[in-house]
């Protein structure tokens, strides 16, 4: 069976994701599609609006054949590490190709850009340092440094979020010497960060989440999501009483910050360059998470980077937890599969280079403990007995089968 891989968060699964999935399968001529999906906390430092189990079911009911979890150690990370962990898992699962959405839509531009940046590596890195020292955020420094090279239109626009991720995916593929073919398709209608609806059927996940929380009415998003997604969101609300968002975790984050010293806050992963003083000062005077973020944000620190810091503080993830010797994922956490997915695993299990976990009790690993801890913290947003119900799922839920 020929397989292609996609790297996703599905927060939530929407019509744009459905388009990406169908185009990926068609472009790659694959029999099955394997998704590497972030767990309960996401790359931009946010809690997913519904659990990884609910998002897995959305994906399977919409046609994805196999869903595996990207470990916390790689999921709540800047683009380069996020990409490395994701691509490594797809390669370990035996994918012949992987496909991602991009603003470019032309795969050759990614290879050309990687090659030209290697040739201009010293100048590029020197420019990044210059812009960082001038107070720019890391993504902004990357974009400005690339523009300074004056390379022209045949190279990537690295100011676009999906181009940046795609660049890191292809670079990761090259770095691990994988034979997977890299494919890309153009994003359709909505941009990654769009907060408003600009099409009758396609909207960004950002716009969908904003509509859910601003209006507290999921019926307004029905035209932008598959029926399976709408049903799962509705079922999750009925079962657990909420949809997850940062404000629900704000009391825990504020308590944590107010009970620690500057030195203790500085031990958390991604807390650098004295920002611990700003974090503590903001925690003392802020009345909500949104208020806190506005009090912390600077030109140098993006909203996304600060949110990731906050996730690591919330989950008590220290620099020492993330910077151990393991550079790549060490296991495959299986979240769900269709019958085709099950057949694929059975046919290829001898060639899959990592242990596959379907029950937590069957495997012990330091990085896996970070996943478990993150799931425990994620459940804090719920009231009893819903909290215990979600916690038990982390340990007792077998891979979802559709």
Cβ contacts of residue 123 below 8 Å, gap of 6+? 149
Check residue 102 and give its pLDDT: 93
Residue ranges of the annotated binding site for ATP are: 7-20, 101, 162, 187
What is the rounded distance in angstroms from the CA atom of residue 22 to the CA atom of residue 368? 32
Residues 346 and 311 occupy one common structural domain: no
The Cα 176–Cα 156 span in angstroms is 22
Same domain, 239 and 251: no
The band of 196, judged by pLDDT with boundaries at 50, 70 and 90, is: low
Residue 194: its pLDDT value, please? 59
Can you read off the two tokens belonging to residue 214?
Answer: 């601003």
**Does 49 reside within a domain?**
yes
Q: How would residue 156 be classed by pLDDT, with cut points 50, 70 and 90? A: confident
212 is in which domain, residue-wise? 3-103+183-243+328-401
**What tokens does 5 get?**
């891989």
**Residues 91 and 188 both lie in one domain:** yes
CA–CA dist 354, 271 (Å, integer) = 32
Residues 68 and 205 in one domain: yes
Is 78 inside any structural domain? yes
Say whether both 267 and 356 belong to one domain: no
CATH of the domain at 16: 3.40.50
Handedness of CA 364, 308, 8, 116 (dihedral sign): negative
Q: Residues 263, 276: one domain?
A: yes
Contact between 72 and 39 (Cβ < 8 Å): yes
How far apart, in whole angstroms, are the C-alpha atoms of residue 32 and residue 202? 24
pLDDT band at 193 (very low <50, low <70, confident <90, very high): low
Q: Please answer whether residues 13 and 205 qualify as being in contact, where contact means their C-beta atoms are separated by less than 8 angstroms.
A: no
Cα separation, 227 vs 222, in Å, equals 8
pLDDT level of residue 191 (50, 70, 90 thresholds): low
3-state per-residue secondary structure call for 71-119: CHHHHCCCHHHHHHHHHHHHHHCCCCEEEEEECCCCHHHHHHHHHHHHH
Q: Are residues 29 and 86 in the same domain?
A: yes
pLDDT band at 120 (very low <50, low <70, confident <90, very high): confident
**DSSP SS3 for 211:** helix
Give 238-295 pLDDT, tens digit per residue: 999 999 999 999 999 999 999 999 999 999 999 998 999 999 999 999 999 999 999 9
Please indicate, yes or no, whether residues 9 and 98 belong to a single structural domain of this protein. yes
Do 250 and 390 fall within a single domain? no
| Most distant pair of Cα atoms in the chain: their distance | 59
> What is the rounded average pLDDT of the residues 298-305?
88
The domain total for the chain is 2
Judge if pTM exceeds 0.85: yes
Residue 126 lies in a domain: no
Rg, Å, the chain Cα set: 21
Domain C-terminal end among 307, 322, 337: 322
Q: Which residues are annotated as a binding site?
A: 7-20, 101, 162, 187
Has residue 19 been placed in a domain?
Answer: yes
Q: Does any domain span residue 269?
A: yes
Per-residue pLDDT tens over the stretch 350-360: 999 899 999 88
Domain final residue, candidates 281, 307, 322 = 322
Peptide bond into 268 cis (omega under 30): no
Are residue 259 and residue 396 in the same domain, yes or no? no
Asked if residue 396 and residue 260 are part of one domain, the reply reads: no
Name which residue leads in pLDDT, 138 or 34.
Answer: 34
Q: Is residue 356 part of a domain?
A: yes
Asked if omega into 12 is within 30° of 0 (cis), the reply is: yes
* Residue 260 and residue 383 share a domain: no
Residue 137 lies in a domain: no
Q: Tell me if 381 is assigned to some domain.
A: yes
Paired with 401 in beta bridges are 337
Whether the ω angle into residue 296 lies within 30 degrees of 0, i.e. cis, is no
- The answer to whether 132 and 216 have CB atoms below 8 angstroms apart is no
Of residues 58, 52, 105, 50, the one with CA closest to residue 75: 52
Unique residue bearing structure tokens 């994805």:
64
Looking at 322, 345, 367, the residue that finishes a domain is 322
């Amino acid at each position: 069976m020929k397989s292609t891989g996609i790297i996703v968060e599905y927060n939530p699964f929407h019509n744009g994701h459905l388009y990406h999935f169908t185009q990926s399968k068609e472009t790659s001529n694959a029999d099955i599609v394997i998704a590497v999906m972030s767990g309960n906390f996401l790359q931009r430092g946010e809690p997913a609006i519904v659990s990884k189990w609910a998002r897995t079911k959305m994906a399977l009911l919409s046609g994805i054949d196999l869903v595996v979890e990207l470990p916390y150690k790689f999921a709540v990370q800047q683009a380069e590490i996020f990409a490395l962990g994701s691509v490594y898992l797809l390669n370990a699962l035996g994918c012949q190709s992987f496909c991602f959405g991009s603003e470019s839509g032309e795969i050759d531009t990614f290879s050309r850009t990687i090659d030209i940046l290697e040739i201009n590596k010293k100048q590029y890195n020197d420019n990044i340092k210059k812009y960082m020292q001038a107070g720019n955020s890391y993504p902004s420094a990357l974009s400005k440094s690339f523009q300074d090279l004056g390379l022209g239109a045949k190279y990537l626009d690295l100011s676009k979020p999906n181009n940046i991720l795609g660049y890191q995916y292809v670079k990761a593929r090259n770095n691990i010497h994988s034979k997977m073919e890299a494919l890309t398709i153009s994003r359709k209608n909505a941009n990654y960060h769009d907060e408003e609806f600009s099409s009758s059927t396609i909207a960004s996940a950002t716009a969908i989440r904003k509509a859910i929380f601003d209006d507290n009415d999921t019926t307004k998003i029905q035209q932008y999501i598959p029926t399976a997604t709408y049903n799962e969101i509705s079922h999750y609300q009925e079962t657990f009483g909420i949809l997850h968002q940062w404000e629900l975790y704000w009391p825990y984050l504020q308590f944590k910050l107010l009970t620690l010293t500057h030195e203790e806050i500085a031990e958390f992963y991604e807390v650098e360059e004295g920002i611990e003083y700003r974090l503590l000062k903001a925690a003392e005077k802020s009345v909500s998470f949104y208020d806190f973020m506005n009090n912390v944000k600077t030109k140098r620190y993006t909203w996304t980077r600060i949110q990731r810091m906050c996730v690591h503080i919330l989950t008590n993830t220290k620099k020492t937890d993330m910077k151990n010797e393991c550079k790549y994922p060490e296991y495959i956490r299986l979240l769900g599969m269709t019958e085709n997915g099950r057949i694929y695993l059975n046919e290829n299990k001898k060639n899959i280079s990592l242990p596959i976990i379907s029950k937590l009790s069957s495997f012990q690993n330091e990085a896996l403990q970070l996943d478990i801890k993150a799931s425990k913290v994620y459940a804090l947003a719920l009231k009893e007995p819903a909290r215990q119900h979600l916690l038990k799922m982390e340990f007792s839920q077998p891979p979802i089968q559709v």
